[in-house]
């Protein structure tokens, strides 16, 4: 719309379509008993005038906000972009709009998260980890009667709508891949301990170690927070020890890239001197050089599924059972046999 140009109204659409404003309103509110001819005439006029109905006004009529929230806690930039992308792909063409609600610390302020959702007058909310596992948030939303869909929950799976991936199986496959290259002295950079997936991935690593006779080495386990900086600092500590790893399992791609950066600064070549693998297959894994070997976590698909289940639930339809998405090991250039 050009500056100063008047915005089209429902009255303008009614005049162009030669119908009443009430008929236009009925079409855009999807009311029953609208003839195909009337619908076509109104939508054609609206398109010609570049008219878009006011979603908030429609919500007042129906006592709905047509707003879906997405709650997440300071994840990596790539992770949150993929969360939003998945939700927005499903909401495209729907009445509903996505409201992104980042939270500094879910563990410290679970009640504030519930209050935030209630005060935002959302019709429903998508919960990303760790909010998707916090019992106070699950209970608070359930008591408030606010529909919610959970991404990658690890507990209370019978509550609410949910979509997930098997973190244990994915981590086990990655560890077995590194072991299969010949590595026996393997370090682990664990993610944020407040995220249930961190513990699940550690279980998967340990299952692979135990099944293949690879020792668990507590002195080669560092805890990060899923950030580049934490992976960088953890690797500097790991590579300064007398017992030096030949491979590093990082629980997400940001920490893995941080590990690669620290290794290079200390004079180690990846992968000739040190194998580094990640988890997620986020955008950074495909942009860094050498490109990162990792596990693809279907974040976009999980967010899209969560939004779809929520929409069906809001429409009074059966959202179906929990959906489990498959992971995929992505072999790139940061893993190789240990140095001789």
CA gyration radius, the chain: 25
Question: Would you state the CATH architecture of domain 67-165+299-325?
Answer: 3-Layer(aba) Sandwich (3.40)
CA–CA dist 137, 129 (Å, integer): 12
Ranges under pLDDT 50 in the chain: 1-4, 56, 59-61
pTM: 0.79
Could you tell me the residue ranges of all domains in the chain?
A: 10-53, 67-165+299-325, 167-297
Task: Report which of 127, 65, 56 is spatially closest to residue 307, judged by C-alpha positions.
Answer: 127
Q: Tell me: the pLDDT tens digits for 231-285? A: 999 999 999 999 999 999 999 999 999 999 999 999 999 999 999 999 999 989 9
Q: Where does 167-297 sit in CATH, by number?
A: 3.40.50.2300
CA atoms within 13 Å, Cβ hemisphere of 108: 4
Output the pLDDT for position 5.
Answer: 54
pLDDT on residue 34: 85
Residue 54: per-residue pLDDT: 57
Residue with tokens 């009255």: 11
Residue that has been written with the tokens 């250039």 in this structure: 333
User: Which H or E run includes 208?
Assistant: helix 196-211
Distance between the two ends of the chain, CA-based, in angstroms?
Answer: 67
CA distance 303 to 319: 14
Please tell me the CATH code under which domain 10-53 is placed. Answer: 1.10.260.40
Place of tokens 């162009």: 16
Residues forming a β-bridge with 222: 189
- In this predicted structure, what is the pLDDT of residue 63? 56
**Alpha-carbon gap, residue 127 to 173, rounded angstroms:** 27
pLDDT digits over 1-17, tens only? 444 456 778 888 888 98
pLDDT at position 3: 42
Q: Would the CATH topology of 67-165+299-325 be identical to that of 167-297?
A: yes
């Amino acid at each position: 719309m050009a500056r100063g140009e008047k915005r089209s109204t429902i009255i303008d659409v009614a005049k162009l379509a030669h119908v009443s404003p009430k008929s236009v309103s009925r079409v855009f509110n999807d009311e029953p008993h609208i003839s195909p001819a009337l619908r076509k005439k109104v939508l054609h006029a609206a398109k010609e005038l570049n008219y878009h109905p006011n979603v908030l006004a429609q919500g007042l009529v129906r006592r709905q906000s047509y707003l879906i929230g997405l709650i997440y806690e300071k994840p990596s930039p790539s992770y949150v972009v993929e969360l939003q992308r998945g939700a927005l792909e499903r909401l495209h063409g729907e009445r509903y709009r996505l409201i992104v609600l980042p939270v500094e610390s879910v563990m410290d302020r679970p009640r504030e998260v519930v209050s935030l959702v209630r005060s935002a007058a959302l019709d429903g909310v998508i919960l990303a980890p760790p909010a998707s596992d916090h019992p106070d948030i699950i209970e608070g939303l359930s008591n408030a009667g606010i529909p919610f869909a959970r991404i990658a929950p690890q507990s209370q799976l019978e509550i609410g709508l949910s979509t997930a991936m098997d973190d244990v199986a994915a981590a086990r496959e990655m560890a077995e891949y590194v072991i299969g290259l010949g590595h026996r002295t393997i370090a682990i950079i664990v993610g944020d301990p407040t995220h249930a997936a961190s513990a699940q991935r550690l279980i998967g690593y340990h299952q692979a170690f135990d099944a293949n006779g690879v020792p668990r080495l507590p002195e080669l386990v560092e805890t990060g927070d899923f950030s580049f900086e934490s992976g960088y600092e953890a690797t500097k500590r790991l590579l300064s020890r007398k017992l030096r790893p030949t491979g590093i399992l990082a629980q997400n791609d940001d920490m893995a890239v941080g590990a690669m950066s620290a290794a290079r600064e200390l004079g180690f070549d990846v992968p000739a001197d040190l194998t580094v693998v990640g988890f997620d297959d986020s955008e950074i894994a495909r942009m860094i050089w050498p490109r990162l070997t990792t596990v693809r976590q279907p974040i976009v698909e999980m967010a899209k599924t969560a939004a779809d289940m929520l929409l069906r639930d809001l429409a009074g339809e059966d959202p179906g059972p929990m959906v489990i998405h498959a992971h995929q090991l992505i072999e790139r250039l940061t893993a190789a046999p240990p140095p001789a």
